[in-house]
Structure 1
Protein backbone atom coordinates (compact mmCIF):
# COMPACT_ATOMS: atom_id res chain seq x y z
CA UNK A 1 0.00 0.00 0.00
CA UNK A 2 1.42 3.39 -1.00
CA UNK A 3 2.08 6.03 1.64
CA UNK A 4 0.01 9.22 1.64
CA UNK A 5 0.17 12.45 3.63
CA UNK A 6 -3.10 14.36 4.00
CA UNK A 7 -2.37 18.09 3.95
CA UNK A 8 -4.74 20.95 4.84
CA UNK A 9 -4.36 24.09 2.71
CA UNK A 10 -5.85 27.12 4.52
CA UNK A 11 -8.79 28.58 2.62
CA UNK A 12 -9.14 32.36 2.64
CA UNK A 13 -6.53 35.03 3.30
CA UNK A 14 -3.63 32.54 3.51
CA UNK A 15 -4.68 30.45 0.51
CA UNK A 16 -2.88 32.22 -2.34
CA UNK A 17 0.21 32.87 -0.22
CA UNK A 18 0.37 29.17 0.72
CA UNK A 19 0.08 28.04 -2.91
CA UNK A 20 2.79 30.51 -3.95
CA UNK A 21 5.06 29.45 -1.08
CA UNK A 22 4.71 25.76 -2.01
CA UNK A 23 5.58 26.66 -5.60
CA UNK A 24 8.81 28.32 -4.46
CA UNK A 25 9.54 25.32 -2.26
CA UNK A 26 9.13 22.91 -5.20
CA UNK A 27 5.48 21.78 -5.15
CA UNK A 28 2.75 22.86 -7.55
CA UNK A 29 -0.69 23.09 -5.92
CA UNK A 30 -3.63 23.76 -8.24
CA UNK A 31 -6.84 24.97 -6.60
CA UNK A 32 -9.97 24.09 -8.54
CA UNK A 33 -12.82 26.60 -8.46
CA UNK A 34 -15.62 24.06 -7.99
CA UNK A 35 -14.29 21.77 -5.27
CA UNK A 36 -12.30 21.72 -2.05
CA UNK A 37 -9.66 19.23 -3.18
CA UNK A 38 -6.64 20.96 -4.75
CA UNK A 39 -4.32 18.81 -6.83
CA UNK A 40 -0.60 18.64 -6.10
CA UNK A 41 2.29 17.27 -8.15
CA UNK A 42 3.34 14.86 -5.41
CA UNK A 43 1.87 11.36 -5.45
CA UNK A 44 2.58 11.03 -1.73
CA UNK A 45 0.32 13.99 -0.82
CA UNK A 46 -3.42 14.60 -0.82
CA UNK A 47 -4.67 18.16 -0.27
CA UNK A 48 -7.89 19.58 1.12
CA UNK A 49 -9.00 23.21 1.42
CA UNK A 50 -10.03 23.92 5.02
CA UNK A 51 -10.89 27.12 6.85
CA UNK A 52 -8.07 28.11 9.25
CA UNK A 53 -10.65 28.45 12.04
CA UNK A 54 -11.38 24.71 11.78
CA UNK A 55 -7.98 23.40 10.69
CA UNK A 56 -6.74 22.32 14.12
CA UNK A 57 -9.93 20.35 14.83
CA UNK A 58 -9.53 18.28 11.67
CA UNK A 59 -5.81 17.81 12.30
CA UNK A 60 -6.43 16.69 15.88
CA UNK A 61 -9.02 14.07 14.92
CA UNK A 62 -6.88 12.76 12.05
CA UNK A 63 -9.11 13.81 9.15
CA UNK A 64 -5.92 15.40 7.86
CA UNK A 65 -2.37 14.76 9.04
CA UNK A 66 -0.94 18.24 8.83
CA UNK A 67 -2.10 21.75 7.95
CA UNK A 68 -1.44 25.45 8.24
CA UNK A 69 -3.52 27.75 10.44
CA UNK A 70 -3.18 30.74 12.71
CA UNK A 71 -1.92 29.96 16.20
CA UNK A 72 -4.92 31.90 17.53
CA UNK A 73 -7.40 29.37 16.12
CA UNK A 74 -5.33 26.44 17.38
CA UNK A 75 -5.59 27.92 20.86
CA UNK A 76 -9.25 28.82 20.39
CA UNK A 77 -10.06 25.16 19.66
CA UNK A 78 -7.72 24.03 22.48
CA UNK A 79 -6.48 21.36 20.07
CA UNK A 80 -4.01 18.68 21.08
CA UNK A 81 -1.73 19.08 18.08
CA UNK A 82 2.01 19.51 17.58
CA UNK A 83 3.34 22.79 16.20
CA UNK A 84 6.10 22.02 13.72
CA UNK A 85 7.15 25.53 12.72
CA UNK A 86 5.99 29.10 12.17
CA UNK A 87 5.00 30.13 8.65
CA UNK A 88 5.30 33.92 8.63
CA UNK A 89 4.31 34.98 5.11
CA UNK A 90 5.59 38.42 4.07
CA UNK A 91 2.98 38.33 1.27
CA UNK A 92 0.33 38.52 4.00
CA UNK A 93 2.11 40.38 6.80
CA UNK A 94 5.32 40.15 8.76
CA UNK A 95 3.53 41.51 11.81
CA UNK A 96 1.92 39.04 14.23
CA UNK A 97 -1.82 39.33 14.67
CA UNK A 98 -2.60 40.63 18.17
CA UNK A 99 -5.75 39.72 20.07
CA UNK A 100 -6.44 42.61 22.43
CA UNK A 101 -8.95 43.49 25.13
CA UNK A 102 -10.71 46.69 24.07
CA UNK A 103 -13.09 49.16 25.76
CA UNK A 104 -14.52 52.56 24.84
CA UNK A 105 -12.26 55.56 25.20
CA UNK A 106 -14.19 56.88 28.22
CA UNK A 107 -14.45 53.52 30.03
CA UNK A 108 -13.17 53.37 33.60
CA UNK A 109 -11.71 49.90 32.95
CA UNK A 110 -7.90 49.93 33.30
CA UNK A 111 -7.15 46.21 33.68
CA UNK A 112 -8.87 42.87 32.98
CA UNK A 113 -9.91 42.51 36.63
CA UNK A 114 -12.07 45.62 36.31
CA UNK A 115 -14.36 43.70 33.94
CA UNK A 116 -15.61 41.24 36.60
CA UNK A 117 -19.35 40.66 36.17
CA UNK A 118 -19.52 42.23 32.70
CA UNK A 119 -20.14 40.96 29.17
CA UNK A 120 -17.38 40.60 26.57
CA UNK A 121 -18.05 40.05 22.87
CA UNK A 122 -15.59 38.25 20.57
CA UNK A 123 -15.10 35.69 17.82
CA UNK A 124 -12.52 33.97 20.02
CA UNK A 125 -14.95 32.68 22.66
CA UNK A 126 -13.14 29.57 23.90
CA UNK A 127 -9.78 31.26 24.35
CA UNK A 128 -11.34 34.33 26.01
CA UNK A 129 -13.32 32.21 28.47
CA UNK A 130 -10.18 30.29 29.46
CA UNK A 131 -8.13 33.50 29.74
CA UNK A 132 -10.50 35.03 32.29
CA UNK A 133 -11.21 31.73 34.08
CA UNK A 134 -7.47 31.17 34.64
CA UNK A 135 -7.36 34.56 36.37
CA UNK A 136 -10.54 33.92 38.38
CA UNK A 137 -12.32 36.88 36.76
CA UNK A 138 -16.04 36.10 36.32
CA UNK A 139 -17.27 37.41 32.95
CA UNK A 140 -19.92 36.53 30.39
CA UNK A 141 -18.36 35.88 26.97
CA UNK A 142 -20.63 36.10 23.93
CA UNK A 143 -19.86 35.07 20.36
CA UNK A 144 -19.75 37.90 17.82
CA UNK A 145 -20.68 37.26 14.20
CA UNK A 146 -18.83 40.38 13.10
CA UNK A 147 -18.80 44.17 13.50
CA UNK A 148 -17.46 43.45 16.98
CA UNK A 149 -16.14 46.98 17.54
CA UNK A 150 -19.63 48.40 16.99
CA UNK A 151 -21.01 46.29 19.83
CA UNK A 152 -18.93 48.00 22.49
CA UNK A 153 -19.56 51.41 20.92
CA UNK A 154 -23.33 50.78 21.00
CA UNK A 155 -23.22 49.59 24.60
CA UNK A 156 -24.18 45.99 23.76
CA UNK A 157 -21.23 44.81 25.87
CA UNK A 158 -18.66 46.35 28.18
CA UNK A 159 -15.60 45.13 26.27
CA UNK A 160 -14.50 43.17 23.24
CA UNK A 161 -11.60 40.89 22.37
CA UNK A 162 -10.58 41.77 18.83
CA UNK A 163 -7.72 41.07 16.44
CA UNK A 164 -5.45 43.86 15.22
CA UNK A 165 -1.95 44.45 13.89
CA UNK A 166 -1.22 48.11 14.55
CA UNK A 167 -4.25 49.15 16.62
CA UNK A 168 -4.93 52.08 14.27
CA UNK A 169 -8.51 51.01 13.43
CA UNK A 170 -9.30 50.59 17.12
CA UNK A 171 -8.06 54.11 17.88
CA UNK A 172 -9.89 55.51 14.87
CA UNK A 173 -13.16 54.22 16.35
CA UNK A 174 -12.54 55.98 19.65
CA UNK A 175 -11.68 52.75 21.46
CA UNK A 176 -8.84 51.91 23.82
CA UNK A 177 -6.71 48.77 24.26
CA UNK A 178 -6.64 47.60 27.86
CA UNK A 179 -4.21 44.72 27.38
CA UNK A 180 -2.84 42.28 24.83
CA UNK A 181 -4.04 38.71 25.35
CA UNK A 182 -2.18 36.84 22.61
CA UNK A 183 0.05 37.16 19.55
CA UNK A 184 -0.59 34.87 16.60
CA UNK A 185 1.24 33.89 13.41
CA UNK A 186 0.50 31.09 10.92
CA UNK A 187 1.87 27.73 12.08
CA UNK A 188 2.20 24.27 10.59
CA UNK A 189 0.48 21.75 12.86
CA UNK A 190 0.39 17.95 12.87
CA UNK A 191 -1.61 15.38 14.83
CA UNK A 192 -0.02 13.09 17.37
CA UNK A 193 -0.52 9.89 15.33
CA UNK A 194 1.06 11.30 12.17
CA UNK A 195 4.02 12.65 14.15
CA UNK A 196 4.56 9.21 15.67
CA UNK A 197 4.61 7.58 12.21
CA UNK A 198 8.25 7.57 11.00
CA UNK A 199 7.36 7.93 7.31
CA UNK A 200 4.86 10.77 7.83
CA UNK A 201 7.11 12.59 10.27
CA UNK A 202 10.01 12.41 7.83
CA UNK A 203 7.83 13.70 5.01
CA UNK A 204 6.48 16.55 7.16
CA UNK A 205 9.97 17.56 8.28
CA UNK A 206 11.21 17.65 4.68
CA UNK A 207 8.24 19.78 3.63
CA UNK A 208 8.80 22.12 6.59
CA UNK A 209 12.48 22.48 5.70
CA UNK A 210 11.73 23.44 2.10
CA UNK A 211 8.92 25.83 3.07
CA UNK A 212 11.16 27.51 5.64
CA UNK A 213 13.92 27.85 3.03
CA UNK A 214 11.46 29.55 0.68
CA UNK A 215 10.32 31.88 3.46
CA UNK A 216 13.93 32.74 4.26
CA UNK A 217 14.43 33.80 0.64
CA UNK A 218 11.51 36.25 0.66
CA UNK A 219 12.79 39.78 0.18
CA UNK A 220 16.34 38.55 -0.49
CA UNK A 221 18.33 38.61 -3.75
CA UNK A 222 21.69 37.44 -4.98
CA UNK A 223 24.25 39.92 -6.27
CA UNK A 224 27.32 39.09 -8.32
CA UNK A 225 29.91 41.52 -9.64
CA UNK A 226 33.44 41.86 -10.95
CA UNK A 227 35.94 44.17 -9.26
CA UNK A 228 39.65 45.08 -9.27
CA UNK A 229 41.63 42.93 -6.87
CA UNK A 230 42.83 45.92 -4.88
CA UNK A 231 39.24 46.98 -4.17
CA UNK A 232 38.08 43.73 -2.57
CA UNK A 233 38.40 44.89 1.03
CA UNK A 234 36.58 48.17 0.38
CA UNK A 235 33.78 46.44 -1.53
CA UNK A 236 33.24 43.67 1.01
CA UNK A 237 32.86 46.31 3.73
CA UNK A 238 30.01 47.87 1.75
CA UNK A 239 28.42 44.59 0.74
CA UNK A 240 26.24 42.86 3.37
CA UNK A 241 25.96 39.08 3.32
CA UNK A 242 24.41 36.18 5.22
CA UNK A 243 27.99 35.13 5.90
CA UNK A 244 31.11 36.51 4.23
CA UNK A 245 30.80 37.30 0.50
CA UNK A 246 32.27 34.72 -1.87
CA UNK A 247 35.39 36.03 -3.64
CA UNK A 248 37.06 34.16 -6.50
CA UNK A 249 39.83 35.23 -8.89
CA UNK A 250 39.05 35.58 -12.58
CA UNK A 251 41.21 33.51 -14.93
CA UNK A 252 44.40 35.27 -16.04
CA UNK A 253 43.31 38.53 -14.44
CA UNK A 254 43.93 40.74 -11.42
CA UNK A 255 40.17 41.11 -11.10
CA UNK A 256 37.91 39.06 -8.88
CA UNK A 257 34.28 37.92 -8.93
CA UNK A 258 32.29 38.67 -5.76
CA UNK A 259 28.96 37.07 -4.90
CA UNK A 260 26.67 37.89 -2.00
CA UNK A 261 23.09 37.57 -0.72
CA UNK A 262 21.35 40.65 0.66
CA UNK A 263 17.91 42.21 1.24
CA UNK A 264 16.42 43.43 -2.04
CA UNK A 265 15.56 46.83 -0.53
CA UNK A 266 19.27 47.53 0.06
CA UNK A 267 20.32 47.01 -3.57
CA UNK A 268 19.30 50.49 -4.71
CA UNK A 269 21.62 52.06 -2.13
CA UNK A 270 24.53 49.66 -2.50
CA UNK A 271 24.89 49.40 -6.31
CA UNK A 272 25.89 53.07 -6.79
CA UNK A 273 28.50 52.67 -4.03
CA UNK A 274 29.85 49.53 -5.68
CA UNK A 275 30.15 51.33 -9.01
CA UNK A 276 32.04 54.19 -7.37
CA UNK A 277 34.50 51.61 -6.02
CA UNK A 278 35.11 50.26 -9.53
CA UNK A 279 32.71 47.30 -9.64
CA UNK A 280 31.49 46.19 -13.07
CA UNK A 281 29.20 43.51 -14.50
CA UNK A 282 26.82 43.81 -11.55
CA UNK A 283 24.00 41.27 -11.82
CA UNK A 284 21.05 40.95 -9.44
CA UNK A 285 19.11 37.67 -9.45
CA UNK A 286 16.04 36.40 -7.54
CA UNK A 287 16.17 33.64 -4.95
CA UNK A 288 13.63 30.89 -4.35
CA UNK A 289 15.25 29.25 -1.34
CA UNK A 290 17.91 29.88 1.28
CA UNK A 291 18.89 26.75 3.20
Structure 2
Protein backbone atom coordinates (compact mmCIF):
# COMPACT_ATOMS: atom_id res chain seq x y z
CA UNK A 1 0.00 0.00 0.00
CA UNK A 2 1.20 3.52 -0.80
CA UNK A 3 1.64 5.24 2.56
CA UNK A 4 2.40 8.65 1.08
CA UNK A 5 -0.40 11.12 1.73
CA UNK A 6 -1.02 13.38 -1.26
CA UNK A 7 -2.37 16.85 -0.48
CA UNK A 8 -3.71 19.26 -3.10
CA UNK A 9 -3.26 22.92 -2.18
CA UNK A 10 -3.71 26.23 -3.99
CA UNK A 11 -0.88 28.71 -4.28
CA UNK A 12 -1.18 32.16 -2.73
CA UNK A 13 -2.71 33.22 0.57
CA UNK A 14 -4.32 29.85 1.37
CA UNK A 15 -1.04 28.03 0.65
CA UNK A 16 0.94 30.31 2.95
CA UNK A 17 -1.54 30.10 5.82
CA UNK A 18 -2.00 26.34 5.43
CA UNK A 19 1.76 25.76 5.40
CA UNK A 20 1.99 27.78 8.61
CA UNK A 21 -0.72 25.60 10.20
CA UNK A 22 1.07 22.41 9.15
CA UNK A 23 4.32 23.62 10.68
CA UNK A 24 2.55 24.54 13.92
CA UNK A 25 1.01 21.06 13.89
CA UNK A 26 4.53 19.61 13.96
CA UNK A 27 5.11 18.79 10.29
CA UNK A 28 8.68 19.46 9.18
CA UNK A 29 8.34 21.29 5.87
CA UNK A 30 11.59 22.36 4.18
CA UNK A 31 12.37 26.12 4.04
CA UNK A 32 12.23 26.12 0.22
CA UNK A 33 8.71 24.70 0.37
CA UNK A 34 7.17 28.19 0.42
CA UNK A 35 9.13 29.56 -2.54
CA UNK A 36 9.18 26.51 -4.78
CA UNK A 37 7.89 26.87 -8.34
CA UNK A 38 7.38 23.12 -8.66
CA UNK A 39 3.86 21.80 -9.14
CA UNK A 40 4.58 18.64 -7.13
CA UNK A 41 6.65 18.79 -3.95
CA UNK A 42 7.77 15.66 -2.11
CA UNK A 43 8.36 15.87 1.65
CA UNK A 44 9.68 12.35 2.12
CA UNK A 45 10.57 12.67 5.82
CA UNK A 46 6.87 13.30 6.60
CA UNK A 47 5.44 10.90 4.02
CA UNK A 48 3.69 13.78 2.25
CA UNK A 49 3.35 14.81 -1.37
CA UNK A 50 1.89 18.20 -2.28
CA UNK A 51 0.16 19.06 -5.55
CA UNK A 52 0.00 22.80 -6.13
CA UNK A 53 -3.08 23.64 -8.16
CA UNK A 54 -5.52 26.38 -9.03
CA UNK A 55 -8.06 26.82 -6.20
CA UNK A 56 -10.98 25.65 -8.35
CA UNK A 57 -9.11 22.47 -9.34
CA UNK A 58 -8.36 21.25 -5.81
CA UNK A 59 -11.78 19.59 -5.20
CA UNK A 60 -11.56 17.94 -8.66
CA UNK A 61 -8.18 16.37 -7.84
CA UNK A 62 -9.53 15.12 -4.52
CA UNK A 63 -12.78 13.79 -5.99
CA UNK A 64 -10.90 11.79 -8.63
CA UNK A 65 -8.40 10.44 -6.12
CA UNK A 66 -5.18 11.88 -7.53
CA UNK A 67 -4.98 13.68 -4.20
CA UNK A 68 -6.06 12.03 -0.95
CA UNK A 69 -6.91 15.30 0.74
CA UNK A 70 -7.06 18.95 -0.19
CA UNK A 71 -7.40 22.44 1.18
CA UNK A 72 -10.06 24.53 -0.50
CA UNK A 73 -12.15 27.60 0.21
CA UNK A 74 -15.79 27.06 1.11
CA UNK A 75 -16.72 29.25 -1.86
CA UNK A 76 -15.09 26.76 -4.22
CA UNK A 77 -16.74 23.80 -2.49
CA UNK A 78 -20.18 25.40 -2.75
CA UNK A 79 -19.67 26.20 -6.41
CA UNK A 80 -18.05 22.94 -7.53
CA UNK A 81 -20.28 20.53 -5.53
CA UNK A 82 -17.74 17.72 -5.76
CA UNK A 83 -18.05 14.27 -4.15
CA UNK A 84 -15.67 14.86 -1.23
CA UNK A 85 -15.96 14.83 2.54
CA UNK A 86 -15.35 18.03 4.47
CA UNK A 87 -13.31 17.13 7.57
CA UNK A 88 -12.24 20.36 9.22
CA UNK A 89 -12.77 24.11 9.09
CA UNK A 90 -9.19 25.42 9.16
CA UNK A 91 -10.44 28.96 9.85
CA UNK A 92 -7.87 30.53 7.55
CA UNK A 93 -8.24 32.93 4.61
CA UNK A 94 -11.51 34.27 5.99
CA UNK A 95 -13.70 36.25 3.58
CA UNK A 96 -17.30 36.09 2.35
CA UNK A 97 -19.50 36.03 -0.73
CA UNK A 98 -21.66 39.08 -1.27
CA UNK A 99 -24.04 40.77 -3.69
CA UNK A 100 -22.81 44.18 -4.81
CA UNK A 101 -23.57 46.87 -7.37
CA UNK A 102 -23.54 50.57 -8.06
CA UNK A 103 -24.91 52.67 -5.16
CA UNK A 104 -28.56 53.72 -5.25
CA UNK A 105 -29.53 51.35 -8.05
CA UNK A 106 -32.36 48.83 -8.19
CA UNK A 107 -32.50 45.48 -9.90
CA UNK A 108 -34.09 45.58 -13.34
CA UNK A 109 -37.73 44.43 -13.00
CA UNK A 110 -37.87 42.92 -16.48
CA UNK A 111 -34.60 41.04 -16.96
CA UNK A 112 -32.27 41.41 -13.97
CA UNK A 113 -28.73 40.27 -14.69
CA UNK A 114 -26.06 39.11 -12.24
CA UNK A 115 -22.41 38.71 -13.19
CA UNK A 116 -20.22 36.32 -11.19
CA UNK A 117 -17.47 33.72 -11.07
CA UNK A 118 -19.91 31.64 -8.99
CA UNK A 119 -22.93 30.89 -11.21
CA UNK A 120 -24.20 27.95 -9.13
CA UNK A 121 -23.95 29.85 -5.83
CA UNK A 122 -25.53 32.98 -7.31
CA UNK A 123 -28.41 31.12 -8.96
CA UNK A 124 -29.18 29.19 -5.77
CA UNK A 125 -29.10 32.37 -3.67
CA UNK A 126 -31.46 34.38 -5.86
CA UNK A 127 -33.76 31.39 -6.24
CA UNK A 128 -34.00 31.21 -2.44
CA UNK A 129 -34.91 34.90 -2.46
CA UNK A 130 -37.70 34.18 -4.93
CA UNK A 131 -35.96 36.17 -7.68
CA UNK A 132 -35.46 34.95 -11.22
CA UNK A 133 -32.27 36.41 -12.69
CA UNK A 134 -30.03 35.90 -15.68
CA UNK A 135 -26.60 34.73 -14.57
CA UNK A 136 -23.62 35.95 -16.59
CA UNK A 137 -20.47 33.90 -16.00
CA UNK A 138 -17.24 35.90 -15.94
CA UNK A 139 -13.72 34.82 -15.05
CA UNK A 140 -12.15 38.09 -13.99
CA UNK A 141 -12.72 41.79 -13.22
CA UNK A 142 -16.26 41.12 -12.00
CA UNK A 143 -16.47 44.71 -10.71
CA UNK A 144 -16.53 45.95 -14.32
CA UNK A 145 -19.90 44.37 -15.07
CA UNK A 146 -22.23 46.93 -13.41
CA UNK A 147 -19.96 49.85 -14.35
CA UNK A 148 -20.21 49.11 -18.08
CA UNK A 149 -23.89 48.12 -17.92
CA UNK A 150 -23.42 44.38 -18.36
CA UNK A 151 -25.26 43.52 -15.13
CA UNK A 152 -27.39 45.00 -12.35
CA UNK A 153 -25.48 43.18 -9.63
CA UNK A 154 -22.42 41.04 -9.09
CA UNK A 155 -21.80 38.14 -6.73
CA UNK A 156 -18.16 38.03 -5.71
CA UNK A 157 -15.76 37.18 -2.94
CA UNK A 158 -15.01 39.98 -0.48
CA UNK A 159 -11.98 40.11 1.78
CA UNK A 160 -11.42 43.73 2.76
CA UNK A 161 -13.90 45.30 0.34
CA UNK A 162 -11.20 47.64 -0.96
CA UNK A 163 -11.49 46.58 -4.61
CA UNK A 164 -15.24 47.17 -4.61
CA UNK A 165 -14.91 50.56 -2.97
CA UNK A 166 -12.18 51.66 -5.36
CA UNK A 167 -14.47 50.81 -8.26
CA UNK A 168 -17.42 52.72 -6.79
CA UNK A 169 -19.48 49.67 -5.81
CA UNK A 170 -21.40 49.02 -2.61
CA UNK A 171 -22.34 45.78 -0.90
CA UNK A 172 -26.06 44.99 -0.85
CA UNK A 173 -26.29 41.54 0.71
CA UNK A 174 -23.93 39.13 2.44
CA UNK A 175 -24.49 35.57 1.20
CA UNK A 176 -22.17 33.30 3.18
CA UNK A 177 -18.96 33.44 5.22
CA UNK A 178 -16.00 31.65 3.69
CA UNK A 179 -12.96 29.96 5.22
CA UNK A 180 -10.65 27.22 3.96
CA UNK A 181 -11.61 23.62 4.63
CA UNK A 182 -9.77 20.32 4.77
CA UNK A 183 -11.44 17.87 2.38
CA UNK A 184 -10.83 14.19 1.67
CA UNK A 185 -11.48 11.63 -1.03
CA UNK A 186 -14.00 9.06 0.35
CA UNK A 187 -11.93 6.05 -0.79
CA UNK A 188 -8.69 7.49 0.59
CA UNK A 189 -10.44 8.06 3.90
CA UNK A 190 -11.11 4.32 4.16
CA UNK A 191 -7.67 3.20 2.98
CA UNK A 192 -5.54 5.77 4.80
CA UNK A 193 -7.79 6.50 7.74
CA UNK A 194 -5.04 6.37 10.37
CA UNK A 195 -2.80 8.86 8.56
CA UNK A 196 -5.67 11.18 7.77
CA UNK A 197 -7.14 11.03 11.28
CA UNK A 198 -3.69 11.85 12.69
CA UNK A 199 -3.43 14.87 10.39
CA UNK A 200 -6.91 16.07 11.35
CA UNK A 201 -6.19 15.62 15.07
CA UNK A 202 -2.95 17.58 14.88
CA UNK A 203 -4.46 20.38 12.83
CA UNK A 204 -7.56 20.52 15.05
CA UNK A 205 -5.39 21.23 18.08
CA UNK A 206 -3.68 24.14 16.31
CA UNK A 207 -6.96 25.56 15.01
CA UNK A 208 -8.62 25.38 18.43
CA UNK A 209 -5.67 27.14 20.09
CA UNK A 210 -5.72 29.95 17.53
CA UNK A 211 -9.51 30.37 17.60
**3-state SS, counterpart of residue 156 of structure 1:** coil
- How many residue pairs get aligned? The number is 208
Alpha-carbon distance in 2 for matches of 1:182, 1:23: 29
**3-state SS, counterpart of residue 128 of structure 1:** helix
- Alignment counterpart, residue 44 of structure 1, candidates 37, 43, 47: 47
Matched residue, 1:9:
9
Matched residue, 1:106:
104
Give, in angstroms, the shift of residue 133 of structure 1: 4.2
Is 1:126 paired with 2:120?
yes
Summarize deviations over 1:266-287 as a string: whole Å, max 9, x none.
Answer: xxxxxxxxxxxxxxxxxxxxxx
Larger Rg: 1 or 2? 1
Alpha-carbon distance in 2 for matches of 1:25, 1:41: 17
Summarize deviations over 1:153-209 as a string: whole Å, max 9, x none.
Answer: 221211100111354553454333222222110000012212233xx1221121112
Is 1:64 paired with 2:64?
no
Matched residue, 1:201:
193
**3-state SS, counterpart of residue 208 of structure 1:** helix
Matched residue, 1:54:
57
Structure 1, unmatched stretches of 5+, are: 220-291
**3-state SS, counterpart of residue 40 of structure 2:** coil
- Alignment counterpart, residue 165 of structure 1, candidates 138, 142, 159: 159
Q: Is the Cα–Cα contact under 8 Å of residues 27 and 46 in structure 2 kept in the other structure?
A: no
**3-state SS, counterpart of residue 173 of structure 2:** strand
Q: Is the Cα–Cα contact under 8 Å of residues 106 and 152 in structure 2 kept in the other structure?
A: no
- Alignment counterpart, residue 176 of structure 1, candidates 142, 145, 170: 170
Summarize deviations over 1:49-72 as a string: whole Å, max 9, x none.
Answer: 122221111111212110111011
Choose 24-33 or 69-78, whichever is displaced more: 24-33
Alpha-carbon distance in 1 for matches of 2:132, 2:27: 49
Q: Is the Cα–Cα contact under 8 Å of residues 103 and 160 in structure 1 kept in the other structure?
A: yes
User: Which TM-score applies when normalising by structure 2?
Assistant: 0.85
User: Which TM-score applies when normalising by structure 1?
Assistant: 0.64
The Cα RMSD (Å) is 2.5
Is 1:139 paired with 2:141?
no
Matched residue, 1:74:
77
